[in-house]
Structure 1
Amino acid sequence: MKAEVLVYRGGLVENRHRASLAVYGEGGLVAYAGSPALVSYLRSSAKPFQALALFLTGAAERFGLDEEEIALATASHDGTPLHVEVAARFLGKLGLGPEHLVCGTHPPLSKEARQALERAGLGPTPLHHNCSGKHAAMLAAALALGAPTEGYERPEHPVQALNRRTLGALAGAEPLHATDGCSVPTFALPLARAARAFYLLARPEEAPEAYREALLRVQGAMRRHPHLVAGPGSIDTLLMERLPLVAKRGAEGYYGLALLSTPKGPLGVALKVEDGSAQAREVLVVALLRALGLPPGPTPWDRPEVRNHRGLPVGHLEARLELAWL
């Protein structure tokens, strides 16, 4: 069984983006395409599980964090003024500022926000970084643990050790780790193990008791504030606005889904486009949701056009998906 996205130019296939995915349901793996044993870094798709530390350490209660701040902790956000405002408010509750974030700086992912900064003659700050909410959450967890905030990004720091244990407990496997683009650890798991963690995000009541309340709180914050998890026009936000699910994109073609309700019951999904194409990932995610009985309605990723530098349509992308059901 295979999953791929074909890129047509005219009537010929110019490129193929191959993918692997795993679908986990009640009792175990229920469907797959490609290799469900493929070990891949979750990258930012791990953020919902990293955000659990806010509840496992008591940081959410200690600092009076609201649902917007919890949602931002899970975000790969677009750097809009609202995202920046919530990130600054989050840090303010900790008595910290942008200078305490070690994520680095990049221009806002939002074209409009990027252009607004340029018109104002301003440059981006760490608050505009798509991971600023995750880093604020790690600082909060460090403070709640009584651990130093300096070095919170290091693998041996208590917050990172907690995150690794948490993901391992939910996945049922020990994750590998390396350094992510924002300098904190990123975790690698077989797709089927990662899909198990996303299944428990959809069904917190089936998780080990220590994680149930945290999973429920994170799930609820993401579903009620999808605009903070990504941004206007982003696939995560659009899908969560339309469907009973939690959606989380990751770098290099990764995607995670916690599907609360489908014709086959709650499901967890982990998907990896093997060459890292984000454009192909979006096309395949929409096709997969339709195959699982959750059509999202019209989206920009239904057979999207390929256009040249003059804006003329010269081809299109098309998903080919064959699921093996167990």
Structure 2
Amino acid sequence: MQSGQTDAHPLDGTASVNVGAVPMIEVLRGGQVESVHTGHAVICGPDGEIVAAWGDPSAVIYPRSSCKMLQALPLLESGAADALTPAHLALACASHSGGAIHTDLAGRWLADLGLSEGDLLCGCQEPSDRSARNGLIRSDAAPCQLHNNCSGKHVGFLMLNQRLGGGADYVDPAHPVQRAILQAFEDITQEASPWFGIDGCSAPNFATSVTGLARAMASFAAADSEGNARERAAVRLHRAMAAHPDLVAGQGRACTDLMRAMDGQAAIKFGAEAVYVAILPGQKLGIALKIVDGGVRAAEAAITALLIRAGVLDAAHPAALARLGGEMRNWRGISVGQIRTAAGFA
């Protein structure tokens, strides 16, 4: 697969994610450090400049689902999504829990396109939403592709595919849909992606550096709602995410809880293997981080720390304390430890 045209920041692939990582999150028990999570993090400003960094800013990573708003850009830029609501756009950027609020919207969107669940290529996934999962168990029904956490993204792919006139295998890296996504991805990260891997939903996931990912988020944050097509698309996407945190993830999930706590000041997105990004339009800043060991709790704690540092999240908010600084309690409710930032981070 050929890369796009952007080569302002070429990557040679030598910046291993394991090299140069620094301690970011510590887990304490009985007053002693029990575990340490290392990683990389970058904050970029509106011109793509690095404002702050920890670890190796050039470490090359798979952004996984943290880049779904980048994958949605061609859909909006094509004009195919002009009539979509913010709820549709939030779902296109979601890694949702498979609850009724998610599957019903995805199903209606498919029907509006004249398509069905069988046209999706994301695969069936058991919902993490408890009500949905229990409902399937009680009815002895199997989960379908609408329950897949990426189903909204894939409906967006199908909508773009109708505009581009591609074949049914829209997740093929050589397909017009994925070529359009790669071009947008490289343009906004300002890096030629050195390789790709296949994500859990079967779509290609293009690698970039932690800086490239943060630079892309800063581009979203600095976008003008009256600007060019890409800027207008970026604003629509991050505003939709901030307005519908329940659609982006689900009840009790970090993305949903933290965006609610910030009351629209930021859009954040988790990616598998402990990647997190944040779009801060008020500050025109973009954040990207990667925890090397793939630990979700550390990624949630690290993004919480950086959002607090940026002034958009109250450290005392219950959603923040649940992930950083609050008490860790055992099954009897006894306080046994704490998750905190490592010295020198955030």
TM-score (norm 1): 0.91
Alpha-carbon separation, structure 2, partners of 1:128 and 1:5: 32
Equivalences for residues 276-295 of structure 1 within 5 A: 276-295=294-313
Q: Verify: 1:298 aligned to 2:318, yes or no.
A: yes
- Corresponding residue for residue 10 of structure 1: 30
- Corresponding residue for residue 42 of structure 1: 63
Show structure 1 runs of 5+ residues with no match. none
- Corresponding residue for residue 66 of structure 1: 85
Task: Report the CA distance shift for 1:322/1:5 in structure 2 as closer, same or farther (over 3 A).
Answer: same
Deviates more, 1:268-277 or 1:289-298: 289-298
The amino acid across from 1:44 in the alignment is S
Alpha-carbon separation, structure 1, partners of 2:127 and 2:63: 22
- Corresponding residue for residue 8 of structure 2: none
The amino acid across from 1:11 in the alignment is G
Alpha-carbon separation, structure 2, partners of 1:320 and 1:209: 41
Q: Is the 8 A contact 2:46 2:219 kept in 1?
A: no
**Corresponding residue to 1:189 among 197, 203, 208:** 208
**Corresponding residue to 1:96 among 92, 115, 124:** 115
Equivalences for residues 256-275 of structure 1 within 5 A: 256-261=277-282, 265-275=283-293
Q: Secondary structure at the match of 1:51?
A: helix
The amino acid across from 1:212 in the alignment is E
Q: Is the 8 A contact 2:64 2:205 kept in 1?
A: yes
- Corresponding residue for residue 170 of structure 2: 152
Q: Secondary structure at the match of 1:322?
A: coil
**Corresponding residue to 1:119 among 118, 138, 143:** 138
Task: Report the CA distance shift for 1:206/1:190 in structure 2 as closer, same or farther (over 3 A).
Answer: farther
Q: Is the 8 A contact 1:47 1:75 kept in 2?
A: yes
**Corresponding residue to 2:250 among 218, 227, 231:** 231
Alpha-carbon separation, structure 1, partners of 2:225 and 2:232: 11
Shift of 1:209: 3.4
Deviates more, 1:206-215 or 1:83-92: 206-215
Q: Is the 8 A contact 1:65 1:90 kept in 2?
A: no
Alpha-carbon separation, structure 2, partners of 1:13 and 1:91: 49
Deviates more, 1:283-292 or 1:15-24: 283-292
Task: Report the CA distance shift for 1:207/1:161 in structure 2 as closer, same or farther (over 3 A).
Answer: farther
The amino acid across from 1:186 in the alignment is N
Q: Is the 8 A contact 2:23 2:36 kept in 1?
A: no
Alpha-carbon separation, structure 1, partners of 2:215 and 2:227: 13
Task: Report the CA distance shift for 1:48/1:147 in structure 2 as closer, same or farther (over 3 A).
Answer: same
Task: Report the CA distance shift for 1:143/1:34 in structure 2 as closer, same or farther (over 3 A).
Answer: same
Q: Is the 8 A contact 2:98 2:132 kept in 1?
A: yes
Show structure 2 runs of 5+ residues with no match. 1-20
Task: Report the CA distance shift for 1:321/1:53 in structure 2 as closer, same or farther (over 3 A).
Answer: farther
Shift of 1:312: 5.3
The amino acid across from 2:259 in the alignment is M
TM-score (norm 2): 0.86
Shift of 1:223: 1.9
Alpha-carbon separation, structure 2, partners of 1:315 and 1:249: 25
Shift of 1:273: 0.6
Identity %: 38
Deviates more, 1:42-51 or 1:97-106: 97-106
- Corresponding residue for residue 33 of structure 1: 54
Equivalences for residues 197-208 of structure 1 within 5 A: 197-205=216-224
**Corresponding residue to 2:270 among 224, 230, 249:** 249
- Corresponding residue for residue 219 of structure 1: 238
Q: Verify: 1:54 aligned to 2:72, yes or no.
A: no
Alpha-carbon separation, structure 1, partners of 2:67 and 2:196: 12
Alpha-carbon separation, structure 2, partners of 1:321 and 1:121: 51
Alpha-carbon separation, structure 2, partners of 1:112 and 1:3: 38
Alpha-carbon separation, structure 1, partners of 2:343 and 2:197: 31
The amino acid across from 1:245 in the alignment is A
